[in-house]
Amino acid sequence: MLGGGQLGRFFVMSAQKLGYKVLVLDPDPNSPAGQIADNHLCASYDDEQALRQIIDSCDYVSTEFENIPAQTLQFLEKDLTVRPSSKAVSIVQNRILEKSFLKENDFPVGDFIIISNLDDLQKVELSIFPAILKIAQFGYDGKGQIHVNNKEELEKAFTKFKNAPCVLEKKINLDTEVSVVLARSNNDEKVFYPLVENQHINGILDTSIIPAEVNQEIYDETLKIADRLSSALDYIGVMAVEFFVCQNHVYVNEIAPRPHNSGHFSIDACDYSQFDLQVRALTGMKLKQPKLIHNSRMINLLGDVWFRGDSQINPAFNNIKDESIKLHLYGKKEPRRGRKMGHYTVLGDDPEKIKQLAFKTKEMLLS
């Protein structure tokens, strides 16, 4: 597993359930996945000696880290089964290539233009404002994005990104956001989770509602688009497609070449989690169509929950008594504002009751 974050940690658990041994590559000695892996290789993602050790000791390679250098995947692909492929990841991890791929293949995307250099700034039409300048690579959780309302702000923002290649996206008036998490095998077998509805705060996922409370057309269309997208990328493994919904139109926002935060409900609400499917797709096992056993709502726990003014406390997790609330903490040592520390999923039948319980739990943890 390339990457030792929480996504990698859940992957390790799923793989170990099937008796696999997992090596995690991550330069952080305390990485969440490294802590529970059978072997933690504490080295950088382009360390050739580490990559050779992986070739010598592993059969299958997957990633949880979107910004894994594509060359690392290419290097490993020569000897091992690597899923998803370097080709798919290299498109998806770069917003310029990703957006261009979507447009060329007739997927619906919002208005955007590519800003590779200072000259491109001159070509920007005023109709694109208000807009968001997004750095082409290495952004996550709303980082590497600046909201701009005019050319002057755009120029400042581009300078702030040190003139690194970017895309400039028109700001869409969102009715809501949804995501599709799916798995595709090397035999073109595909399985889908129910559509997820997502609420973000400051560009970071806060809440996911399953199934999404959107009309049937939106529901069907997004699943159809994600289906076609997985084939167009010849994608093998678990992937997620994020969508914007605006006035009954859908636009692809971005693609994640890995399990997704919005798919965490599947750990508790489904018979097969997105990480179980990642293991199965990776190792060529038959995929299982996951069944949603409970309606659910997933709430992220950011490091902010640990802070009261300037002081730091441990939230009262012991006060979570209700059996229908499933708590997951990722083993990260240091809470930081905006850092994903854990999540909880509330299960049930009645979406309104689930919502109330989710709110009350958050209030209790913040009190």
Give whichever of 26 and 254 is closer to ligand ADP, judged by the CB atom.
254
Give whichever of 253 and 296 is closer to ligand ADP, judged by the CB atom.
253
Shortest approach of ligand ADP to residue 94 CB, angstroms?
A: 12
Give whichever of 145 and 345 is closer to Mg ion, judged by the CB atom.
145
Q: Which helix (H) or strand (E) holds 15?
A: helix 6-17
- The correct pick among 27, 69, 108, 110 for binding ligand ADP (CB under 6 A) is 110
Q: How far apart (Å, rounded) are the C-alpha atoms in residues 111 and 103? A: 10
Q: Which of residues 162-181 bind ligand ADP (CB under 6 A)?
A: 169, 171-172, 174, 177
- The correct pick among 18, 44, 138, 140 for binding ligand ADP (CB under 6 A) is 140
Give whichever of 15 and 132 is closer to Mg ion, judged by the CB atom.
132
SS3 string of 288-348? CCCCECCEEEEEEEEHHHHEECCEECCCCHHHCCCCCEEEEECCCCCCCCCCEEEEEEEEE
Interface with ligand ADP by CB under 6 A: which range of 68-76, 140-148, 277-285, 334-342? 140-148
Shortest approach of ligand ADP to residue 1 CB, angstroms?
A: 21
Q: For the chain, first and last CA: distance in Å?
A: 37
316 scored as a contact of ligand ADP (CB under 6 A): no
87 scored as a contact of ligand ADP (CB under 6 A): no
Q: Which of residues 325-344 bind ligand ADP (CB under 6 A)?
A: none
Q: Are strands 81-82 and 60-61 parallel, antiparallel or unpaired?
A: parallel
Q: How far apart (Å, rounded) are the C-alpha atoms in residues 326 and 105? A: 40
Q: Please list, in sequence order, all residues whose beta carbon lies within 8 angstroms of the beta carbon of residue 177, skipping any fewer than 6 positions away.
A: 197, 198, 199, 200, 242, 243, 244, 245, 253
227 binds, among ligand ADP, Mg ion, none (CB under 5 to 8 A by kind): none
Give whichever of 64 and 242 is closer to Mg ion, judged by the CB atom.
242
Closest CA to 316 of 332, 303, 305: 305
Judged on CB neighbours under 10 Å (0-12, 13-18, 19+), 340 is buried
203 scored as a contact of ligand ADP (CB under 6 A): yes
Q: How many H helices and E strands in the chain?
A: 12, 19
Shortest approach of ligand ADP to residue 19 CB, angstroms?
A: 34
Which residues would be at the binding site for ligand ADP (CB under 6 A)?
A: 110, 132, 134, 139-142, 169, 171-172, 174, 177, 200, 203, 242, 253-254
